[in-house]
Structure formats: structure tokens, C-alpha cells
């Protein structure tokens, strides 16, 4: 239960600590007033780069979002609406995002190679590097390895998703299990996340010291990879136990609940906001249900407005709290949807020509890159971009030179992104 606030202040109330500043800034005009304080500006300038990766699993339709084609045989029933970028239109199902287009880079000429979920998802999330006979890490694990956990002490790679949670070591590939994702099922903390009733702090510290001694003894003579993941998970869990407020959306204002939407993705995006403000390096928020092979248009009319509310709200809040320059925001799926509407009034998998959106750290604002032909069937641009180019782009936005920096798999140096591809220069600030 939150303690009642005192009407009196103390000396600590006048110190502009990083945590206090980030926690106290409210969205809107009230929060912007604080940004005038020189100490706040200095803190923001030094803030480490982070990533918000929004994954719309199954495949959001580019036609009903970033690249509408109204009035064409494949366009569907929805209109397009103007955005804050002159001459650019989004689907009418995204009115709030349309008003923020000047903060985004939208890439409309994505062409990938796999139209299956089972193989397409890992291909996208690993960046499809040249085959070196090893399993590459997902982007979140790669960022955790290359950039570290940062000063927050919290897990570097968290995944907020519907359903079950747990530690997903397989995401780390050859980097080793310690760089896997901690998944929070339904945006909730893990089970048994509080200390046993009656256990004093000193007793808990004694237990921790004993565990560390046993772990050191067990690790002696064994490969590091066999023990370091377990140790890492324990350490991260202890840090999270001290920050249980990160999962508590009951303290969110009614206004924010309405802005983000009282939907699954809205609630999970609020938890993601908490994680970013606390300093988590890489936050993935996943939404399921986008594989609309049947009744696509009714499905889109339900799904996309929920995404619109959550996405627009997080971008607004990052901007208003002075964090957008430091947080790389990516929203995407494993592919788009077919122009052709099938016999079930649905759109099928379509990797040949689709779109995604980016914002924030290192990303140019108000850019619409590439395009498709009049009916959205083919990329209608001088160049199409595959996922390897996007990995180069994201690394560049985070200040990582993907041509020089390498992973090490034992003694084997490996490129962090596809060597035959390059960043999308138009998307970079």
C-alpha cells in the first residue's frame, strides 16, 4: 500500500536524481514544465539508449495501416486519412497515429523471403545473417549482449506478452543462455515473487550469501555456460523483486488507461512504459491474433484501433517525457497480408511487399521511405529492403557500427548483421 505523502519536504526532495526525475515527469504540459530545469536536460542527454520493440504476431496488414490503397480492387472497405506529413495517408483505423506521423519513419518497401510463421518469425527476429552454421540471437539478445544491462540493474531483455511467461534462453542463440529473454506472461511478475512472510531482510541476505557460495562451488570445474544463466536469472529476479511497482497498472491514472486503451495491448504497453522509465535496455511488447485469414476486415476494425491507441500513447509519452531521443521504437510483424482477398474474406501471408514503422533514437522524423504500386502488389521503388538492412539500420540508430563490431562465438568472429546489406540511410537522423 502506498504511504501517505508528507506535506513537508526534506533535502532529498530538492535533488534531481535520475530515477526521481524520470518517475515524476507526467505526460503533457505538466511534464514538459520540468524539462526546463538544467539538471533534467543534462540527465536526459546522458541517458542510455534503449529499445521498445512492438511485435504484432501473425502479420498486421499494410493495407489497413501504413500503406492504404482505397478505391482499388484490393484496397478493402476502409478509407485513407491525411497524416501530419503532407501528402502521406494512413488507414482511417489509425487516426491518432496519423497525427504523429511527423515523428515516425515508415518503410513501405520491405521484401522478405518467408511466408511461414514457424520459420519467418525467427528469420526476422535474428536478422537472417549469412549461414555460419550457428543459431543467431534474436535482436533483443543481441542488444543485451552488445549494450549490456546498463545502470538500472534490471534485466536487459524483457518480453511482455499474453499467456505464459518464463525465461527463454533459446532466444540468445550462440551468445549463451544468460542473454535470453525474461517473459512476463500477461504483463505480470513471475509466481512466488514476494519473500515468505516473516522472513527478515537480514535472513534473506544470509540466504543469498549461502546460495552464492553453493553456486561458486558447483561452478568450479564446469563450463561457464552451464551455470551463468542460472546465476543471472537469480540476480535479475532479486532486482525485480525490489521493483514490483513496475507491474502495477492499478496506480495508472484513469486518463492514461483511457488513452492507452483498456485492452490487452494497452495494458501491456503501460507495463512496457514502466520498464523503459526504470531503465530496462530492451522491452518487447507482443500482441497476438493478427493472422486474419478469415473475416479480415472485421478483425482489423477490432485490432487496429487498439494498436493505434497504445502505439500513439507510448510515442506521445516518450516525446513528452523527453525520452524519445533515447528510445528506439520499432513496430512490425513477420510479414504483411496479401493484396488478394481470399474466399473467407481474409488476407493471407505476404512477405513480398509490406511496411513497418520506427521512431525515436537515431531515426529520422517524418520520413516515408519507398512505396508499392497502385494496388499494393509489388514494391514500386528503386530498392526493396530485407530484414538484414533493418538490423543494420537499428544498430546504426543505437550507435553501433555494424560493419566493424562483431560477435565472438568462442574464437570465431561473426558479423552482427547480414554482410551483404547496409543501413537504410533515409531512415537515419
For 3-17, the DSSP string reads PPPPSS--GGGG---
Q: Is residue 231 part of a domain?
A: no
Average pLDDT of 177-202?
82
Q: What is the pLDDT of residue 207?
A: 74
Residue 422 has pLDDT above 50, yes or no: yes
Q: What is the pLDDT of residue 65?
A: 98
The C-alpha atoms of residue 411 and residue 174 are separated, in whole angstroms, by 12
pLDDT band at 315 (very low <50, low <70, confident <90, very high): very high
Alpha helices in 37-166 (DSSP H): 38-46, 95-98, 117-126, 139-147
Residue 38 has pLDDT above 50, yes or no: no
pLDDT tens-digit series, residues 215-264: 777 777 776 665 676 777 777 777 787 788 888 888 899 999 999 999 99
Q: What is the pLDDT of residue 2?
A: 38
pLDDT band at 1 (very low <50, low <70, confident <90, very high): very low
Of residues 55, 183, 69, the one with CA closest to residue 125: 55
As a whole-number percent, the residues of the chain with pLDDT over 70 amount to 85
Q: Is residue 221 part of a domain?
A: no
Q: How many domains does the chain have?
A: 1
Q: Are 140 and 264 in contact (CB under 8 A)?
A: no
Q: Is residue 8 part of a domain?
A: no
Q: Is residue 210 part of a domain?
A: no
Residue 346 has pLDDT above 50, yes or no: yes
Average pLDDT of 26-40?
39
Residue 12 has pLDDT above 70, yes or no: no
Backbone angles phi, psi at 355, to 5 degrees: -130, 160
Task: Tell me which residue has cell 478505391.
Answer: 71
256 vs 29 pLDDT, higher one:
256
pLDDT band at 27 (very low <50, low <70, confident <90, very high): very low
Residue 13 has pLDDT above 80, yes or no: no
Q: Is residue 19 part of a domain?
A: no
Q: What is the pLDDT of residue 150?
A: 87
Helix (H) or strand (E) holding 348: strand 347-350
Give the gyration radius of the chain's Cα atoms: 22
Q: What is the pLDDT of residue 190?
A: 76
Residue 122 has pLDDT above 60, yes or no: yes
Q: Is residue 131 part of a domain?
A: yes
Q: What is the pLDDT of residue 226?
A: 59
The C-alpha atoms of residue 50 and residue 360 are separated, in whole angstroms, by 10
99 vs 11 pLDDT, higher one:
99
Q: pLDDT averaged over the chain?
A: 87
pLDDT band at 151 (very low <50, low <70, confident <90, very high): confident
Q: What is the pLDDT of residue 46?
A: 57
Tell me, what CATH number does 340's domain have?
3.40.720.10
Residue 26 has pLDDT above 50, yes or no: no
* 113: Cβ contacts below 8 Å, ≥ 6 apart: 123, 128, 351, 386
Average pLDDT of 42-65?
87
CA distances from 73 to 47, 61, 94, 308, 344 (A): 48, 16, 21, 25, 16
Of residues 305, 296, 319, the one with CA closest to residue 266: 305
Q: Is residue 211 part of a domain?
A: no
DSSP 8-state class, residue 428: B
Residue 31 has pLDDT above 80, yes or no: no
Task: Tell me which residue has cell 512466488.
Answer: 192
pLDDT tens-digit series, residues 77-120: 999 999 999 999 999 999 999 999 999 999 999 999 899 999 99
pLDDT tens-digit series, residues 55-64: 999 999 999 9
pLDDT tens-digit series, residues 269-312: 999 999 999 999 999 999 999 999 999 999 999 999 999 999 99
Residue 23 has pLDDT above 50, yes or no: no
Residue 24 has pLDDT above 80, yes or no: no
Q: Is residue 380 part of a domain?
A: yes
Give the range of the structural domain holding residue 60, as residue numbers without chain letter. 46-197+244-427
Q: What is the pLDDT of residue 193?
A: 65
Average pLDDT of 31-59?
67
Task: Tell me which residue has cell 483498456.
Answer: 262
Residue 194 has pLDDT above 60, yes or no: yes
Which stretch of 36-45, 70-79, 146-155, 209-218 has the lowest confidence by average pLDDT?
36-45
Task: Tell me which residue has cell 549469412.
Answer: 130
pLDDT band at 152 (very low <50, low <70, confident <90, very high): confident
Q: What is the pLDDT of residue 381?
A: 79
221 vs 371 pLDDT, higher one:
371
Amino acid at each position: 500500500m502506498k504511504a501517505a505523502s508528507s506535506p513537508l519536504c526534506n533535502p532529498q526532495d530538492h535533488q534531481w536524481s535520475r530515477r526521481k526525475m524520470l518517475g515524476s515527469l507526467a505526460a503533457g504540459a505538466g511534464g514538459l514544465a520540468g524539462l526546463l530545469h538544467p539538471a533534467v536536460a543534462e540527465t536526459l542527454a546522458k541517458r542510455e539508449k534503449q529499445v521498445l520493440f512492438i511485435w504484432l504476431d501473425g502479420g498486421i496488414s499494410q493495407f489497413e495501416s501504413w500503406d492504404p490503397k482505397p478505391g482499388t480492387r484490393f484496397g478493402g472497405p476502409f478509407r485513407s486519412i491525411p497524416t501530419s506529413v503532407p501528402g502521406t495517408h494512413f488507414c482511417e483505423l489509425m487516426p491518432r497515429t496519423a497525427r504523429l506521423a511527423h515523428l515516425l519513419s515508415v518503410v513501405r518497401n520491405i521484401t522478405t523471403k518467408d511466408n511461414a510463421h514457424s520459420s519467418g518469425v525467427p528469420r526476422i527476429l535474428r536478422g537472417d545473417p549469412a549461414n555460419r552454421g550457428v543459431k543467431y540471437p534474436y535482436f533483443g539478445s543481441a542488444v543485451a549482449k552488445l549494450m549490456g544491462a546498463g545502470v538500472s540493474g534490471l534485466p536487459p531483455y524483457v518480453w511482455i506478452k499474453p499467456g505464459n511467461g518464463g525465461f527463454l534462453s533459446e532466444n540468445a542463440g550462440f551468445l549463451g543462455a544468460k542473454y535470453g529473454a525474461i517473459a512476463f506472461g500477461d504483463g505480470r511478475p513471475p509466481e512466488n515473487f514476494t519473500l515468505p512472510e516473516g522472513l527478515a531482510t537480514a535472513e534473506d541476505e544470509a540466504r543469498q550469501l549461502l546460495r552464492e557460495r553453493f553456486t561458486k562451488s558447483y561452478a568450479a570445474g564446469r563450463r561457464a555456460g552451464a551455470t551463468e544463466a542460472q546465476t543471472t536469472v537469480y540476480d535479475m529476479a532479486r532486482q525485480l523483486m525490489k521493483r514490483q511497482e513496475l507491474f502495477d497498472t492499478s496506480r495508472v491514472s484513469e486518463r492514461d488507461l483511457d488513452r492507452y486503451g483498456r485492452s490487452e495491448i494497452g495494458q501491456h504497453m503501460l507495463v512496457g512504459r514502466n520498464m523503459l522509465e526504470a531503465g530496462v535496455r530492451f522491452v518487447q511488447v507482443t500482441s497476438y491474433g493478427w493472422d486474419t485469414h478469415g473475416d479480415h476486415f472485421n478483425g482489423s476494425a477490432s485490432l487496429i484501433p487498439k494498436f493505434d491507441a497504445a502505439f500513439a500513447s507510448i510515442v506521445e509519452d516518450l516525446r513528452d517525457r523527453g525520452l524519445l531521443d533515447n528510445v528506439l521504437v520499432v513496430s512490425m510483424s513477420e510479414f504483411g497480408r496479401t493484396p488478394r482477398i481470399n474466399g473467407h474474406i481474409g488476407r493471407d501471408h505476404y512477405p513480398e511487399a509490406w511496411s513497418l514503422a520506427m521512431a525515436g533514437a537515431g531515426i529520422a522524423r517524418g520520413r516515408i521511405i519507398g512505396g508499392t504500386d497502385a494496388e499494393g502488389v509489388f514494391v514500386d521503388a528503386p530498392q526493396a529492403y530485407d530484414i538484414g538492412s533493418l538490423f543494420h539500420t537499428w544498430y546504426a540508430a543505437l550507435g553501433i557500427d555494424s560493419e566493424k563490431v562483431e560477435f565472438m562465438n568462442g574464437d570465431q568472429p561473426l558479423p552482427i548483421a547480414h554482410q551483404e546489406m547496409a543501413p537504410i540511410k533515409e531512415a537515419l537522423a
